[in-house]
Amino acid sequence: MKISRELVNGRVARGFEKVQDIFVSQFEAGLEIGSACAVFYQGECVVDLWGGYQDVRQEKLWEEDTLALIFSSTKGVAAMCLAIAHSQGWLDYEAPVATYWPEFTRHGKEKITVRQLLAHQAGLCAMDILLSVQDLADLTYVDAVIAAQKPLWTPSEFQGYHTYSMGWYMNGLMRHVDPQKRSIGLFLRDEVAEPLGLDMRLSLRNSSPKEIADVESRLANFYAPMPFLEGAKNFQNINRKFAKALLTKGTLTRRSFASPRVFGFEDWNKRPLRSIELPSSNVMCTVRDLAKLYSIFSTQGEKLGVKPDTLALVKEPAVPPTKSRVDLVMKAETSFSLGFNKPTQRHPFGTSSVAFGTPGAGGSFGYADPGTGIAFAYAMNKPGYYLVNDPREDALSKAVFECVKELAIKN
């Protein structure tokens, strides 16, 4: 169903009208049910748009304060929390994880550094013990299981996307280095969201009720091998090697996406999954506040206690694995550093290698481009079948930089 421009709301600063035009056109073309896009430029909000419906029945409008589930864009939020821990002196990226988490030494992991872990190079992308939703609510048990996991390749030689497990390791690391032993969800609440006035939460546990956009689940989840037929026609958008590996039992790709089990989009609409902390995948926030967080982190880090030395490390190019840049899980070149994605030829974003952020399933994306002072965020409730470079997000992002370029010429 196409949605008229009357159901799109928000504001843009002078010079960013092109972003609004594209945002509206995507609704008129039937590409969206509901979505939001926000951009900060040199610390100021210049794009704040939302539109359509927050539910797939199209009965509730997407409002200014509607929360969106941002899937793996969550990893960037968790990485920013760990960067604050680094600035506080609790964490050294070059130190072995076992320095802070002694149980992590099992199965020869004693030399794996925090940097290697956060770069998806530790070989811990899948668990031998599958964790249930109930298991995931017990963080002490999760820590014990993941600390005992044997690496699936020699750490630092290769990289492979730690689809869900990255969040568990980030949480375990934070719980071991934080003097108060807080989880990332509690740390995010105490040290980031509340001080900055952000409507952002990792799980709904101990959280007041709030309108959260439901994700369209009629379409097959391309992460899920079954059901699959409805989504198969969209696989031209996805790396064929990845698709084949995802559908083949026993492959590293399938194990990474099926650990604890493959969630369909319908599961993400239910309270049980939304009520546990999954620092890889279930931050719920306004899109405006996701962009605002990236803006503050990258341009006014002192508000978060982020020191210039920490930000400089985040902006550095990724340290690649020693044997191959091809991701063993994603079956394509990827680049990760300190918990963030970095730009690659396959997934360019921002204007240079200093950019950092994380995309999420279905098309969501949050990132910062310190070179221009841009912080960008987009989220939707109609999933797209793209691992990266969803055309809706991509068109909006490109329009932002076209606007910045035109403003520079005029000035």
Burial class (CB in 10 A: 0-12, 13-18, 19+), 169: buried
Q: What is the pLDDT of residue 244?
A: 87
Per the CB < 8 A criterion, the answer to whether 2 and 28 are in contact is yes
Residue 225 has pLDDT above 60, yes or no: no
The residue-averaged pLDDT of 124-150 equals 93
Per-residue pLDDT band at 216 (split at 50, 70, 90): confident
Residue 208 has pLDDT above 80, yes or no: no
Residue 109 has pLDDT above 60, yes or no: yes
Whole-Å CA distances, 44 to 39, 41, 314:
8, 5, 22
Q: What is the pLDDT of residue 271?
A: 79
Written as six digits, the tokens of 23 are: 């945002």
Domains with residue ranges and CATH for the chain? 72-210+271-358 (3.40.710.10)
Q: What is the pLDDT of residue 203?
A: 84
**Percentage of the residues of the chain whose pLDDT score is greater than 70:** 91
Predicted confidence (pLDDT) per residue in 311-359, tens digit: 999 999 999 999 999 999 999 999 999 999 999 999 999 999 999 999 9
Predicted confidence (pLDDT) per residue in 297-324, tens digit: 999 999 999 999 999 999 999 999 999 9
The residue-averaged pLDDT of 286-296 equals 98
154 CB neighbour count, 10 Å cutoff: 13
SS3 for 396?
helix
Supply φ then ψ for residue 18, to 5 degrees. Answer: -60, -35
Query: Cα separation of 174 and 181, whole Å?
Result: 7
Residue 45 has pLDDT above 50, yes or no: yes
Residue 41 has pLDDT above 70, yes or no: yes
In the chain, what is the straight-line distance between the N-terminal and C-terminal CA atoms, in Å?
A: 41
Percent of residues in the chain assigned helix, strand, coil, to nearest 5? 40, 15, 45
Residue 122 has pLDDT above 80, yes or no: yes
Q: Which amino acid is at 271?
A: R
Closest by CA position to 212, among listed 316, 67, 404, 324: 67
Written as six digits, the tokens of 343 are: 């730009």
Per the CB < 8 A criterion, the answer to whether 342 and 350 are in contact is no
Per-residue pLDDT band at 262 (split at 50, 70, 90): low
Q: What is the pLDDT of residue 2?
A: 64
Q: Which amino acid is at 295?
A: S
Query: Cα separation of 97 and 117, whole Å?
Result: 8
Q: Which residues contact 271 (CB under 8 A, 6 or more apart)?
A: 204
Mean model confidence pLDDT for the chain? 91
Q: What is the pLDDT of residue 249?
A: 87
Closest by CA position to 66, among listed 366, 368, 293, 380: 380
Q: What is the pLDDT of residue 209?
A: 60
Query: Cα separation of 198 and 181, whole Å?
Result: 22
Q: What is the pLDDT of residue 151?
A: 97
The residue-averaged pLDDT of 117-137 equals 93
Residue 221 has pLDDT above 80, yes or no: no
Residue 228 has pLDDT above 70, yes or no: no
Q: What is the pTM of this model?
A: 0.94
Query: Cα separation of 122 and 293, whole Å?
Result: 28
